[in-house]
Amino acid sequence: MTSLTLEQTEQHDLQAFIDGTAHYFDHITGQEAVVGAPYLRTTENPSLEYTGMIGVSGSRKGFVYFTSSREMLENILDAMGETDFCDENIADITGEIANTISGNVRRSYGKNFMISVPVVLAGGNHQVTFPGGNATYIIPVSWKQFEPRLMICLE
């Protein structure tokens, strides 16, 4: 029987998010994103202008966040053929990206990885609250000239 170390288990868990993020950008925009190696959050507030937050319950508990600049979100909308870059659509696509990446993870985690509808936080100074006691991993993404992030905080 093969057993995994804690680090290997974490890497395995995070890989589903890495793959899901790459798949999202590739599929929606036709332009590949470079998804970097996850690292532990060290700064107090790593959020950018818009953050989509998904609550996770069931087999895992915590939150998944996708954070981005507004300009990148406008580029995503443009790639989808959307011409209306109003605040509502920008917030909507922020939540939808977080929702899609989190939902796709169920391919690996299964049905008991239950996700909420997205909550979107906006504004240059918005503060994301991370539940205490759990490590938060940041997965850096590079797409075009933009550098959004996925943030994973799960038990």
- Give which of 26, 19, 7 is closest to 107, Cα–Cα: 19
Q: Report if residue 22 touches another protein, rule: CB under 8 A.
A: no
Q: Report if residue 58 touches another protein, rule: CB under 8 A.
A: no
Select the span of 38-46, 55-63, 99-107, 121-129 touching another protein (CB under 8 A).
99-107
How many alpha carbons lie under 13 Å from residue 132 in its C-beta half-sphere? Answer: 0
Q: Report if residue 59 touches another protein, rule: CB under 8 A.
A: no
Q: How far apart are CA 22 and CA 19, in angstroms?
A: 5
Q: Cβ–Cβ contacts within 10 Å for residue 32, how many?
A: 11
| Residue at token pair 């332009």 | 31
Beta partners for 121?
A: 51
Q: Report if residue 23 touches another protein, rule: CB under 8 A.
A: yes
Which helix (H) or strand (E) segment holds residue 10: the answer is helix 6-29
* DSSP one-letter code for 33: P
- Give which of 54, 70, 65, 72 is closest to 114, Cα–Cα: 54
Q: Report if residue 96 touches another protein, rule: CB under 8 A.
A: yes
Q: Report if residue 60 touches another protein, rule: CB under 8 A.
A: no
The correct pick among 11, 69, 89, 142 for binding another protein (CB under 8 A) is: 89
Least distance to another protein from the beta carbon of 96, Å? 5
Q: Please, which residue, 41 or 154, has the CB nearer to another protein?
A: 154
The correct pick among 1, 6, 40, 117 for binding another protein (CB under 8 A) is: 117
| Residues at the site binding another protein, with contacts judged by CB under 8 A | 23-24, 27-28, 77, 80-82, 88-89, 92-93, 95-96, 99-107, 109-111, 113, 115-117
